Amino acid sequence: MNFRTFVGCLVAGVLAAGGAMAQQAQPIVIKFSHVVAPNTPKGKAAEMFKKLAEERTGGKVKVEVYPNSQLYKDKEEMEALQLGAVQMLAPSLAKFGPLGVKEFEVFDLPYIFPSKDVLRSVTEGPVGQDLLKKLEKKGIRGLAYWDNGFKILSANKPIKAPEDLKGLKLRIQSSKVLDAQMRALGALPQSMAFSEVYQALQTGVVDGTENPPSNMFTQKMHEVQKHATLTNHGYLGYAVIVNKKFWDGLPADIRAVLEGAMNESTRFANAIAQTENDDSLAAMKASGKTDFYAPSDAEVLAWRKALLPVHKEMEGRVGKETIEAVYKEAAKLGFKN
Ligand code: LMR
């Protein structure tokens, strides 16, 4: 080898080593897109996952959290996940219908969960896990369920009884069960992306909506809704999902660490959700912009009577078996449907 060749080899070797090092130093990036504010149960749990994932992989994984529909709105984020443009989402369980996994809409059935324990035994038990498995054929892996809370109804007129919603245009998420629920109340449901709700309420495109207090408060909906009723008629929670190809392609040791970080973030999300909602409700009450009405026991019965027929009506959509599987979990904990 002459001197020039030797120097050439040396340079090539150094460059190759540098390249390999640079490659090694490149972190695995997880883009985590969501539609709510950072100071919500989901927003805080996403940040917790970022922190744990980055710390525990020693920086080998970088999690970029994009809140408030910064990257994508509801429908687009599902498509982006499937295409691999983002790697992780936590859409509400009411948003899996358009993907073709209609069984998830069981979570939207009004008054289906008589308690948080029943909900937990569904999400952590075989019913919830079987639902997550249904996502695999869509190129999606379901990792966890995160709570938000129970929904309240809001509008610019007092809502004491189901009749008060007759003829009102109410924004819903993209769920056929929610559509049927609003129709059962005589209202006109309008499916709309979450990022558009504040403006639609402000301009009167819709008259009212439903959401847990934390979403209502952090999107400032209380500034454009004069009345709300604490019906707690339905649940809103999330499935944390990843692009399956991306997840399965991760080095096994990294994936195991991320699974641990996800389990811990899930415990965190579910531990803070109730307090976050309580605090949001208290803050909205203190602002004096919205009147909050707590229905009496007799009034709750009237809401139940108006809404429970939706279970039967939606059997064809959600699947009788899935609905009955939830009833069974409730029965195991001593509740009768
Ligand atoms: C909504 O669209 O109302 C909610 O699903 C938003 C969310 O992610 O909590």
Strands (E), the chain: 28-33, 61-66, 88-89, 140-150, 152-155, 169-172, 188-191, 208-211, 227-229, 235-243, 291-293
Stretch 89-96: mean pLDDT: 98
Q: What is the pLDDT of residues 102-113, one digit of tens each?
A: 999 999 999 999
Q: What is the pLDDT of residues 111-122, one digit of tens each?
A: 999 999 999 999
Stretch 229-233: mean pLDDT: 98
pLDDT at 4: 54
Longest dimension (CA), the chain: 97
List of domains in the chain: 27-332 (3.40.190.170)
pLDDT at 24: 57
29-252-59 Cα angle (round to 5): 35
Assigned token pair, 142:
């379901």
Q: What is the DSSP letter of 138?
A: G
Stretch 242-263: mean pLDDT: 98
**Pair 312, 109: CB distance under 8 Å:** no
pLDDT at 13: 46
Residue 25 binned pLDDT confidence (cut-offs 50, 70, 90)? confident
Stretch 193-211: mean pLDDT: 98
235 CA from centroid of ligand 1 (Å): 11
Stretch 170-194: mean pLDDT: 98
pLDDT at 163: 97
Name the average pLDDT for the chain. Answer: 94
| Ligand 1 pocket test, candidate residues 148, 150, 181, most atoms within 8 A of CB | 148
Stretch 199-222: mean pLDDT: 98
pLDDT at 217: 98
Stretch 11-27: mean pLDDT: 54
**What does the alpha-carbon distance between residue 337 and residue 334 come to, in Å, rounded to a whole number?**
10
Q: Which residues contact 319 (CB under 8 A, 6 or more apart)?
A: 102, 103, 106
Stretch 12-35: mean pLDDT: 69
Stretch 80-92: mean pLDDT: 97
**What does the alpha-carbon distance between residue 102 and residue 175 come to, in Å, rounded to a whole number?**
9
CB atoms within 10 A of CB 318: 24
Ligand 1 pocket, CB under 6 A: 35-36, 92, 148, 173, 194, 211, 215, 236
Residue of higher predicted confidence among 164 and 5: 164
Which amino acid is present at 42? K
User: Does residue 321 register a pLDDT over 60?
Assistant: yes
Nearest-atom index, ligand 1, CA of 215 = 9
